[in-house]
Amino acid sequence: MEGWINRTTGTDFILLGLFHHIQAPKVLFTLIFLVFLAALVGNVMMMILIWFDSRLHTPMYFLLSQLSLMDLLYSSTFVPKIAIDFLSGRNSISYIGCGIQLFLFMTIVGAECLLLAVMAYDRYVAICRPLHYSVLMCPIVCAFMVTGTWLSALLNALIHVIYTLSLPYCASREIHHFFCEIPALLKLVCADTSLYENGLFVSGVLFLLLPISAIMASYGQIVSTVLGLRANLGTRKALATCSSHMIAVSLFYGTAIIKYFLPKAYHTAEQDKVVSVFYTILTPMLNPLIYSLQNKEVAGALRKCQIKK
């Protein structure tokens, strides 16, 4: 603890941000802020619709409300800091601020990785084992799985944040990123981090590769089951729901895997920032659009809300 206190009194980190070497920073900032506002409105609206429309009080929509909550927290962790830095011209962040940002990021991204796998399992049970759905996805089981995703991600984040911020940093405190992320921080460490990077790889396997493997297995079974049924309204509805989920999964996991599993030689710091923008800022905006456009029940709840007004 004493070492941590001593570190907080040292030189702050400098976030070079998104607008470093950008010819039109004001245009980029405006776009990012508009995307953030769209994500804010979309996710809040999704949560309100699910919470207040009794027709949406099902396990699938409970999980979807959790996804909207995570996306809301996700984008709110980064964009306000980006806006403050851009408008004030100060790009510094303290050790404590960096630790808090890193902790929030790792908790939310880890929880979302696991939640997407839980959502795939929900669709697998609903389509492949419908007679057991009320038992396998009862409210207690849903609450237990969601709590497990949050607690697992929180524990993983706590371990990595404590270890990362206890490493010795060099004189240069310039982070070539717009937020505190472990790969960017490790470039500033004056010590051999190869062993710790192996630990990061293990975490990546647990929170990225295993969930996406479970998702692919679930949807493989779903496709096999749906293809064995006659085409009707139910199968079309199942495919529409699953297709929207697969789009969200592809956007989120695809960019995360590029960032964390592609060898360093194949991507630069600038490319990392572009990829990070995609899964920290764009994806939270796209998820509400993907699920509302593909889902007739959500669209119906929205129309019902508009009629009441």
- Which amino acid is located at 221 in the chain? Q
Do the domain assignments include residue 309? no
Confidence band, pLDDT 50/70/90 cuts, at residue 25 = confident
Do the domain assignments include residue 150? yes
Angle at 138 between CA 72 and CA 236, to 5 degrees: 70
Angle at 290 between CA 50 and CA 236, to 5 degrees: 90
Map residue 15 onto helix, strand or coil.
strand
Do the domain assignments include residue 201? yes
Q: How far apart are CA 121 and CA 115, in angstroms?
A: 10
* Other beta carbons less than 10 A from residue 18's beta carbon: 23
**Tens-place pLDDT, residues 41-91:** 999 988 988 888 888 889 989 999 999 999 999 889 989 988 888 888 888
Write down the pLDDT at residue 149.
Answer: 97
Q: Average pLDDT in the 11-32 region?
A: 81
Do the domain assignments include residue 3? no
Beta bridge partners of 14: 92, 174
DSSP string, 232-291: -HHHHHHHHHHHHHHHHHHHHHHHHHHHHHS-GGG--HHHHHHHHHIIIIIHHHHHHHHH
Write down the pLDDT at residue 233.
Answer: 56
- Return the DSSP state at 193: -
Beta bridge partners of 169: 189
Confidence band, pLDDT 50/70/90 cuts, at residue 8 = very low
Write down the pLDDT at residue 308.
Answer: 58
Do the domain assignments include residue 304? no
Contact 252, 265 (CB under 8 A): no
The CATH number for 220's domain is: 1.20.1070.10
Q: How far apart are CA 252 and CA 256, in angstroms?
A: 6
3-state helix/strand/coil string of 119-154: HHHHHHHHHHCHHHHHHHCCHHHHHHHHHHHHHHHH
Q: How far apart are CA 149 and CA 68, in angstroms?
A: 15
Do the domain assignments include residue 8? no
Do the domain assignments include residue 123? yes
- Is 9 a residue whose pLDDT tops 70? no
Contact 179, 15 (CB under 8 A): yes
Q: Which residues contact 207 (CB under 8 A, 6 or more apart)?
A: 109, 110, 113, 114, 153, 156
Domain of 175 in residue numbering reads as 13-297
- Return the DSSP state at 169: B
- pTM of the model as a whole: 0.88
**Tens-place pLDDT, residues 193-245:** 889 988 998 998 999 999 999 999 998 898 888 777 665 655 666 666 677 77
- Tally of domains within the chain: 1
- The token pair at 231 is 């085409």
Do the domain assignments include residue 101? yes
Map residue 205 onto helix, strand or coil.
helix
